[in-house]
Structure 1
């Protein structure tokens, strides 16, 4: 299902530098697993399609239609700003900092910058952009901007056929709510597949693994990406998103709906915003989530995909960032002119 055509913001092509983190074990761009890497890739590709001159600083092994500048092996976070300034194209008009601690945006730069705050940190650079209104409220004190993450819906396979299993997909840590997803499966007797990297081994071993072993309806399938991720998402009866923390966005909710799969989520973080079109899918408790699983009162799969196509696409995300780039460039030029007067 194609997304509605959106008018592109008008103006001359810009020279833009996109900078992603080089933390230990950084994922190359595009990543089949890393959400931030995926979002940066989609934004970069769409900017290039629109005729902008884009340079992307990313981990070794990345690929992009932009001019790709790979970080050297062993480059530390505190060295990123220096490396970028030494290698960025002449005439760069704006730097978009996606690093998790605003490696560039917190420093004096030769051009304006925008800092997308992908993780819950309160120390960020000038012109912070949060990925939801809730994140802006909590981390920015209501100041700054917000732009929702977007995906390329054409890359997500749609299916109205469902195969009767519940799905949890995310990092295996306590705050993601994997234990609560298991509780829903236990209460309902439904089959549950758990997918994601184990980031808290002790928690997994002591609290998750034993419950999986006791229940033949629950299976851990490991970290997934690519075709395997698509298959899990599009055939799930429902994605469970029982997040326990103030999740800034939660990209997997959008990915699931793009595949025609409903999402039942606890009312935390950005959930009320991402699921604003389907308030009946928002849950106040695990007990209520279990009841909704049993009731199966889900929106039609095609309606879920259309909802994503109208609100959370890479084109819409790029429209907002492009307008923001131009506004910040214009504002800084005005300030510079006023200071000389």
Structure 2
């Protein structure tokens, strides 16, 4: 009987609600700037392509093939659960909460939920999903699930032609390692382009801006997206990812490799997992990163792209989430069945 139920569940088209945060500087879905927004977009679109009924709750300005419900202007983060419950389909099978504090998943809900933990937070919802094994180990203490983020590789331009510059791409904050990227450029004498929004203005002004002004080989190009982001990624000699914290995933590493660009990264957070196929690119220190940047002993661009297509695609991510959705729904239905009184 259980086997028949599992087979029936696998064939069933699910009604799924995807929920993303709404906060003052929320990015619309899809976004070339917000990693979480991009992941949610890829997951939503692939679920729709597979025939599932998906509702997406997202910021104003979002676009989607799913049924799109945008948050009204002024809606606070704490008001998201009530808004979702009021507007979601009555036949919803599962809610997927991507909000940064699992705002919906921590509530009492009429259906099961999963909560992807995109950033480190103390309060998790039911069925937490982490974006790497390391994140599950640190934030979930080994409990919950992990599913890697995925991208649509067809949207990333591949190039074997490189133009001799190093690239740092990410938010300009201390923990992202932009200062360490500058140190690599200073030690190697190589050109460095820095791209990303300035999220710590005082840090940028006091510690970054002066070093850029002193070195003509280093240039800050601002926050980037679209064609400009593609060109920077595909033509870079190497992407530097000197993260100083326990980065849960680091989507830009996958994006760079999809463009055929190698990544030199410090051995923190998810780096050993994301770069497990290329251990020679993992660095223990800034000094080692500088040496590797000078040696340029990189895998071929074609090998880097193939690696991403085999491990970090939107299709693989969606298949993994669907398996998890169905397992959680199955458990819920089984539990409800056990509660039903037996008829005499």
What TM-score do you get using the length of structure 2 for normalisation? Answer: 0.96
- SS across alignment from 1:48: helix
Equivalenced residue count is 333
Asked if structure 2 preserves the Cα contact closer than 8 Å seen for 1:122 and 1:140, the reply is no
Q: Does 1:303 align with 2:303?
A: yes
Asked if structure 1 preserves the Cα contact closer than 8 Å seen for 2:258 and 2:304, the reply is yes
Aligned partner of 2:133 in structure 1 is 133
Q: Does 1:11 align with 2:11?
A: yes
- SS across alignment from 1:89: coil
Q: Superposition pairs for residues 283-294 of structure 1, below 5 Å? A: 283-294=283-294
Q: Which runs of 4+ in 1 moved over 3 A?
A: none
Aligned partner of 1:215 in structure 2 is 215
State the Cα deviation string for residues 103-155 of structure 1 (Å, max 9, x = none).
11101000000000000112110000000000000000000000000000000
Alignment partners' CA distance in 1, 2:10 and 2:212: 54
Q: Superposition pairs for residues 101-250 of structure 1, below 5 Å? A: 101-250=101-250
Alignment partners' CA distance in 2, 1:317 and 1:298: 27
Unaligned 5+ segments in structure 2 are 1-8
Q: Tell me how far 1:82 sits from its aligned partner.
A: 0.2
Q: Tell me how far 1:10 sits from its aligned partner.
A: 4.1
Aligned partner of 1:93 in structure 2 is 93
Q: Tell me how far 1:340 sits from its aligned partner.
A: 3.2
- SS across alignment from 1:84: helix
Alignment partners' CA distance in 1, 2:315 and 2:192: 34
Aligned partner of 1:79 in structure 2 is 79
Q: Superposition pairs for residues 316-331 of structure 1, below 5 Å? A: 316-331=316-331
State the Cα deviation string for residues 282-329 of structure 1 (Å, max 9, x = none).
000000000000100000000000000000000000000001000000
Aligned partner of 2:41 in structure 1 is 41
- SS across alignment from 2:204: helix
Asked if structure 1 preserves the Cα contact closer than 8 Å seen for 2:10 and 2:326, the reply is no
Unaligned 5+ segments in structure 1 are 1-8
- SS across alignment from 2:40: helix
State the Cα deviation string for residues 146-198 of structure 1 (Å, max 9, x = none).
00000000000000000000000000000000000000000000000000000
